Amino acid sequence: MSKKHINWLHDELPGLVKAGIVPADVADKLRQHYGPALARAGKNWALLIFGILGAALIGAGVILLVAHNWDDLSRPVRTALAFAPLIAAIGLAGWVLAYRTASAAWCEGMATAWALTIGATISLVAQIYQIQGDPARFFMTWILLGLPVVYLLQSSVAASLYFIGATTWVGCTVWPHHRVTSLWYWGLLALALPHLAGVWRANRYGWRAGLTGWVLAICLCIGTGMSLEGALNGAWIVAYTGLLALMYLAGKRWCDAAPTLWQRPWQTIGAVGLGEVALMLTFQWPWKEIYSQWARSRETLASSPIAIAGNLLAAGLAIAAIIAVARDLRRIEWNNIDRLLVGLAPVCGVAGYVVAAMYELHSLPQALFNAYLFILGLGALIAGIRSNKLSQVNAGLLALAALIVARFFDSDLSFLLRGLAFIFIGIGFLVTNVVMLRRKGAPAA
């Protein structure tokens, strides 16, 4: 019986006994059988959310009043006001650590407030005292100070903010004239890995694993390219085909039984990202400058440790993905052909890059990725039909349609032919979906 029904029963029993409908001993037996009334989690959550909302509104009102008179306040008063949110957050976090560590809602809420007030206080102090600084240093200070909050309060929301902060930091280092290597991005992410490992060990399908998984996967998609400092032009091709394939393969290996999309961040981002990257690589522009840059910089490449590290990182991601799929090669059948198809992406990425760097050939790697995207789409389509999975069928059709549409836009075919092609793609989608739905036994219309 659900928590809600047990609570209802406990509420009803005294009235039923009083009215003589249920004897007292039977009521006791029922209570023993169904166990004690359970805490009303929904109400607690609602209370907490509205409590936080109310506090936030009062806080916002106070901030507005203070902001209105900000210039008329003396510097020490403004400084005290800048420290107030941080000290309040620390005080409340201390209370949570002492008395409410069992409540996820309290821990998460206070950790989020604490992590955010660190940045707010530092930037307010910087403004009050006209302290100059570059954004990269500000974000680095903020996230490094915020990291212990993740562990103290076991907060996955704070960990997600940390990933976003680290990615913002790496974005700031791309700006010219920075003096810290952006490769530190990987070191920063590694600092939060013990929290992720703990979350996964506890429940890899829980909301914490879902939230941190989605945020980290999206952050990796943005931050990886920016972190490849000193890497050769086009190294991103090798890095991203490797990274996205790794994400998909990891998701498939460890989270394959996830019932909802929210619980499948790694395979979802991996598949969508890989489709997009493969589509980009069917165009000429990614391959164009690789040869000339490779010819220019191969001598200086070996002399810079940062360049070596950046290129090794890109190559390492692709090699790790290839090894991961090679280990599974013997066990691959039709129902898990997707692993092989995804594992082919870094192979094509490395092969395409080598050809483009050595022989100044754009057309060959382009043709390779046209063939790859076609095989990826067709493979997903066939595997989806065989296993009766409509989402997989549609993903395959989408990949094929994207390929056809892309090729039609950069070809000189007439509008009539392009129009007809779009109509056929549309018919293909409709017919396949109708057939699949009939096979599943659902009404087609």
Partner 1 sequence: MKKFWLIAAFVIVALAHIATPVTMILQRGEILRAGHAYKFRTRPVDPVDAFRGRYVWLHFEQDHAQWCSHAERRPGAEAFARVEEGADGFAVIREVAPEPPAQGDYLKVVESFSVGTNAHFRLPFDRYYLKETKAPKAEEVYREHNRRNQTNLNTYAVVRIKNGDSALEELYVGGKPIQDYLRAAKP
Binding site for partner 1 (CB under 8 A): 67, 70-71, 79, 82-83, 86-87, 90, 93-94, 97-98, 118, 121-122, 125-132, 141, 145, 148-149, 152, 176-179
Count Cβ atoms below 10 Å from residue 285 Cβ, excluding itself.
10
State which residue, 60 or 435, has the beta carbon closest to partner 1. Answer: 60
Task: Compare residues 179 and 201 and give the one whose CB is closer to partner 1.
Answer: 179
Q: Which is nearer to partner 1, 71 or 412 (CB)?
A: 71
Kindly report the CA angle at 81 between 78 and 86, in degrees rounded to 5? 135
Q: How far apart are CA 394 and CA 374, in angstroms?
A: 14
| Rg (the chain; Cα; Å) | 28
Q: Which is nearer to partner 1, 158 or 347 (CB)?
A: 158
For partner 1, the closer of residues 95 and 207 by Cβ is 95
Residue 173 or 263 with smaller CB distance to partner 1? 173
In the complex, least distance from residue 148 CB atom to partner 1, rounded to whole angstroms? 4
DSSP 37: P
Give the integer Cα–Cα distance in Å for 375 and 338: 11
CA dist., res. 419 & res. 405, Å (int): 11
CB of 115 to partner 1, least distance (A): 10
Q: How far is the CB of 133 from partner 1 (least distance, A)?
A: 9
Number of H helices, E strands in the chain: 19, 0
CA separation, residue 188 to residues 143, 182, 184, 209 (Å): 9, 10, 6, 19
* Minimum separation from the CB atom of position 131 to partner 1 (A): 6
Give 74's DSSP letter: -
Q: Least separation, in Å, of the C-beta of 127 and partner 1? A: 4
* Nearest residue (CB) to partner 1, 180 versus 218: 180
Minimum Å gap between C-beta 116 and partner 1 is 12
Task: Provide the b/e sequence for 248-278 (b: ≥16 CB within 10 Å).
Answer: bbbbbeebeebeeeebbbbbbbbbebbbebb
Give the nearest distance from C-beta 303 to partner 1 in angstroms. Answer: 14
CA pair distance 183, 307, nearest whole angstrom = 10
Nearest CA to 360 among 274, 234, 243, 264?
Answer: 234
Map tokens 């090669």 to a residue: 329
* Shortest distance in whole angstroms from residue 39 CB to partner 1: 24
Q: Which is nearer to partner 1, 83 or 283 (CB)?
A: 83
Question: Judging by beta carbons within 10 Å of its beta carbon (0-12, 13-18, 19+), is residue 128 exposed, middle or buried?
Answer: middle
